[in-house]
Amino acid sequence: MSGFVLAVRPEPGLAATMEAGKQLGLNMIGYPLFEVRARKWECPEPGSFDAILIGSANAIRHGGDALSSITNKPVHAVGQTTADAARDAGFEIANVGTGGLQNVLDAVTKPTRFLRIAGEKHVPLTSSDGVEIVTRIAYESVPLELPEPLRALDQLGLTVLLHSAVAAERFDSETRRLALQRSRIKLAVLGPRIAEAAGTGWQSIHVSPAPNDTALLELVRETCI
């Protein structure tokens, strides 16, 4: 199989994506564009909210000791990976979404008061009548640079996996810094919003049929390599 597949998500997701891609026979390489770091945060009084809204497993991985006092609150998670992380941390799962955190929010039984545990950069949400959201920032993504040797790979056939809009914007910036030939690079992204954030000038952009790693990697194997 020709061509390389570059994964740029932060750890521990990077290692999981690399292994899954290799199992499919893809020529995987990995350089994280971000390092996720915990931030100190204070949890609101547990009686002031009914449930927890989480858009990333990083909220659990980096939530720290503040999570221990609220494991009795049900979690509404953006997807299965996030739900699994919350369940492993002792939470009960009330809802698992498939199409973004806004869809999870729209499906809740009203009235509901949410604690949203999020990263410094997070997707804005619109709440309907009867739904309240208090947001706490538990982690941040610190940008990293791609290595100089990556310049040579766009000559050999390169497909890049993008798991978030923030990653798309960062990769767009890094290709300009490294003067990569964007017209030689294919992008495979988890959703339309990520494709929009990636900018223009790429050889092609392929959107995964489902917002998960399995669907994204199978898309790459079938259409990009």
Q: Tens of pLDDT along 126-170?
A: 998 899 999 999 999 999 999 988 877 777 789 999 998 889 999
Q: Give the mean pLDDT of 55-66.
A: 94
Query: Hey, do 4-33+144-224 and 37-142 end up sharing a CATH topology, with the first three levels equal?
Result: yes
Of 199, 211, 11, residue with least CA distance to 102 = 211
The answer to whether the CB of 197 falls within 8 A of the CB of 33 is no
Contact 177, 169 (CB under 8 A): no
Distances (CA, A) of 68 to 88, 89, 94, 188: 13, 9, 18, 37
Handedness of CA 152, 158, 163, 169 (dihedral sign): positive
Rounded to whole angstroms, the Cα distance separating 171 from 146 reads: 9
Task: Give tens-digit pLDDT for 30-51.
Answer: 999 999 999 999 999 999 999 9
Architecture of the domain delimited by 37-142: 3-Layer(aba) Sandwich (3.40)
Q: Where are the domains of the chain?
A: 4-33+144-224, 37-142
pTM for this one?
0.79
* The domain defined by 4-33+144-224 carries CATH number 3.40.1440.10: no
